[in-house]
């Protein structure tokens, strides 16, 4: 399994440490050529305005959009979730969305750094009913979910972890703690997607 | 732990992690802040005078006017940083009350305390501090700094001092990685740094907070140089708005910081940027800011 991590700007190194710890092979993605041969991609936290600009200038934006349309597994944290949100509030006018998650997300929805926080998250996935610690940094706030978006985690009633098809999105930073469960959740999505692809190939041959 | 809890160390260090791979630009007006954000800066440093002007004007350099900081905060959506004098915890209290996202306890301003740095654990807002070597970096971390940057020699447009500081910090980290457990006691003594931090470093092979480069970056090549040496992001002070074409230079430095290993991209973005800031040689300056701090 080879997971790409978008490495234009942001906390890509922290994701790299977690995924490497979990025994996954990792490719840092800075150009279109780095997208070849990936089984899934992580969009890290950082500044979404900066990343959005660099997605454009590197040409990755169009390719990633296309992959998302084909059901390619993508995991966005914080700014990565903002890039995936169909609608953003308080973004820059020229910020281009990748799409993939039918949600409304408000940039810096909890305020500035002084309001950034740690909190215990209720995980309400069928396989893991549990709680975990989450770090929220100038985090986006999910204001609305539509369609077949599954809510997987909440803090005091706020939605903080969602899944739609093969797209996983977190408003917090599972890459900053020692808890690997959200990354494991994503790797499971990737391996199921790979199994499905294999089955389709078998049927065709 | 209360739920939610603000101002914890993971929350402070978290913002430093988010700024990795990016460019933090010095700006003195809301217009410059807008140019920086449009060019892809991941944060701006709001200050009254860029270091090159502080150097030229002389006198005492202090915290910026809160009006000026708030004007910049109101203009951009990216994080805003501001500088407090070394040891001047009241300037830091004021900056925190303005809702600034990161405080730089900076040697570019005139130090306010000749022996003590700010106790950064007393604040909810994260701090970045400069360092010239590993001992200094670890002392600042033990005081609660959530990010370390090289001091370099601000306002000179000359990268040589930042390179010295990065090589010193990263070289010693590599050497400590080779040390046995008994040698770590001696390393802690030599570095005048807390033993537990030295032991942690030996185990992980990296500082417990991100290491950025600051001081003297003037070109896209300088930014990529700092990144290839091992910095995780760059600060550009006088280098952008003291150059001929700030918009294009700012944008080029952002691209160079992301694509720091790709010489073809670096060649492309280095073209036609107009004149960089003139810069000063180390033997031409009478005040070394890097010597401030203890």
> Between A11, A53, A136, which is nearest B20 by CB?
A11
Mean pLDDT for the stretch of residues A124-130: 73
- Start-to-end CA distance of chain A, whole Å, equals 23
Question: Higher model confidence: residue B278 or residue B167?
Answer: B167
User: Alpha-carbon Rg of chain B, whole angstroms?
Assistant: 18
pLDDT of residue A44: 98
Q: Tell me: the pLDDT tens digits for B128-181?
A: 999 999 999 999 999 999 999 999 999 999 999 999 999 999 999 999 999 999
Residue B99 forms contact with A (CB below 8 Å): yes
User: Would you say residue A63 has pLDDT above 90?
Assistant: yes
pLDDT of residue A94: 77
Burial class (CB in 10 A: 0-12, 13-18, 19+), A21: exposed
Whether B4 sits inside 8 A of A136 (CB atoms) is: yes
Q: In A, what residues contact B, Cβ < 8 A?
A: 7-14, 30-31, 45-47, 49-50, 53-54, 57-58, 78-79, 90-92, 107-108, 112-120, 135-138, 155-156, 173, 176-177
Record the pTM: 0.96
Q: CB of A45 within 8 A of CB of A21? A: no
Q: What is the Cα–Cα distance from B183 to B167, expressed in whole angstroms?
A: 21
Q: What is the Cα–Cα distance from A159 to A170, expressed in whole angstroms?
A: 9
Q: What is the Cα–Cα distance from B97 to B281, expressed in whole angstroms?
A: 39
For the record, the structure tokens of B277 come out as 């800031």
Mean pLDDT for the stretch of residues B261-281: 94
Q: Tell me: the pLDDT tens digits for B83-93?
A: 999 999 999 99
pLDDT of residue A202: 87
pLDDT of residue B294: 87
Q: CB of A24 within 8 A of CB of A1? A: yes
Nearest alpha carbon to residue B26 among B54, B55, B51: B51
pLDDT bin (cut points 50, 70, 90) of residue A96 is: confident
Whether B42 sits inside 8 A of A114 (CB atoms) is: no
Q: Which of B83, B120, B151, B242 is catalytic?
A: B83
pLDDT of residue A33: 97
Tell me the chain A residues in contact with residue B262 when contact means C-beta distances shorter than 8 Å. 30-31
Q: What is the Cα–Cα distance from B11 to A117, expressed in whole angstroms?
A: 6
Hey, how many other C-beta atoms are within 10 angstroms of the C-beta on A70?
A: 7
A175 is catalytic: yes
Mean pLDDT for the stretch of residues B50-62: 91
Q: Which domains does chain A have, with CATH numbers?
A: 2-204 (3.40.50.880)
Hey, how many other C-beta atoms are within 10 angstroms of the C-beta on A5?
A: 27
Whether B15 sits inside 8 A of A119 (CB atoms) is: no
Number of alpha carbons in the 13 Å side-chain half-sphere of residue A12: 24
Nearest alpha carbon to residue B173 among B185, B162, B161, B187: B187
Nearest alpha carbon to residue B62 among B48, B41, B46: B48
User: Would you say residue A128 has pLDDT above 80?
Assistant: no
Q: Tell me: the pLDDT tens digits for B1-28?
A: 457 899 999 999 999 999 999 999 999 9
Q: What is the Cα–Cα distance from B82 to B67, expressed in whole angstroms?
A: 12
pLDDT of residue B85: 98
User: Would you say residue B219 has pLDDT above 70?
Assistant: yes
Question: Is the torsion defined by CA of B217, B220, B226, B229 positive or negative?
Answer: negative
Whether A45 sits inside 8 A of B19 (CB atoms) is: no
Percent of chain B with pLDDT strictly greater than 70: 99
pLDDT bin (cut points 50, 70, 90) of residue B99 is: very high
pLDDT of residue B2: 58
ipTM above 0.85, yes or no: yes
The mean of the pLDDT values for chain B is 96
Q: CB of B101 within 8 A of CB of B146? A: no
């Amino acid at each position: 399994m080879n997971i790409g991590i978008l490495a234009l700007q942001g906390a890509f190194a922290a994701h790299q440490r977690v995924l490497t710890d979990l025994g996954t092979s990792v490719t840092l993605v800075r150009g279109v050529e780095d997208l070849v041969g990936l089984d899934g991609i992580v969009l890290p936290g950082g500044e979404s305005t900066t990343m959005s600009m660099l997605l454009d200038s590197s040409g990755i934006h169009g390719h990633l959009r296309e992959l998302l349309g084909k059901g390619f597994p993508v995991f966005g944290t914080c700014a990565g979730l903002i890039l995936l949100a169909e609608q953003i509030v308080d973004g820059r006018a020229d910020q281009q969305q990748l799409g993939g998650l039918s949600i409304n997300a408000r940039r810096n929805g909890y305020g500035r750094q002084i309001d950034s926080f740690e909190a215990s998250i209720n995980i309400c996935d069928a396989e893991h009913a549990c709680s975990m610690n989450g770090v929220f940094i100038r985090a986006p706030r999910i204001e609305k979910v539509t369609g077949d978006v599954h809510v997987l985690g909440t803090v005091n009633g706020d939605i903080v972890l969602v899944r739609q098809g093969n797209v996983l999105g977190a408003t917090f930073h599972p890459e900053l703690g020692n808890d690997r469960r959200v990354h494991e959740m994503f790797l499971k999505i990737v391996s199921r997607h790979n199994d499905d692809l294999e089955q389709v190939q078998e049927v065709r041959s | 732990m209360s739920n939610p809890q603000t101002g914890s160390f993971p929350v402070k260090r978290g913002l430093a992690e988010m700024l990795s791979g990016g460019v933090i630009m010095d700006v003195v007006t809301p217009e410059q802040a807008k140019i920086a954000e449009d060019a892809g800066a991941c944060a701006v440093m709001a200050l009254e005078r860029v270091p090159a002007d502080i150097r030229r004007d002389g006198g005492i350099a202090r915290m910026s006017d809160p009006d000026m900081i708030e004007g910049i905060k109101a203009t951009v959506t990216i994080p805003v940083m501001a500088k407090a004098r070394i040891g001047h915890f009241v300037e830091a209290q004021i900056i925190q009350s303005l809702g600034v996202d990161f405080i730089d306890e900076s040697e570019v301003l005139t130090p306010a305390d000749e022996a003590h740095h700010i106790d950064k654990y007393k604040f909810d807002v994260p701090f970045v501090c400069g360092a010239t070597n590993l001992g200094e970096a670890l002392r600042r971390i033990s005081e609660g700094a959530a990010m370390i940057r090289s001091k370099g020699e601000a306002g000179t447009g000359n990268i040589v001092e930042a390179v010295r500081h990065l090589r010193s910090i990263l070289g010693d980290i590599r050497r400590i990685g080779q040390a046995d457990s008994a040698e770590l006691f001696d390393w802690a003594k030599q570095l005048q740094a807390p033993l537990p931090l030295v032991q942690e470093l030996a185990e992980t092979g990296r500082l417990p907070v991100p290491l950025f480069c600051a001081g003297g970056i003037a070109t896209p090549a300088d930014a990529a140089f700092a990144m290839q040496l091992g910095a995780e992001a760059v600060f550009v002070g006088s280098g952008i708005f003291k150059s001929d074409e700030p918009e294009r230079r700012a944008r080029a430095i952002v691209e160079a910081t992301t694509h720091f290993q790709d010489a073809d991209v670096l060649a492309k973005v280095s073209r036609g940027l107009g004149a960089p800031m003139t810069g000063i040689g180390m033997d031409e300056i009478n005040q070394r800011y890097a010597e401030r701090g203890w």
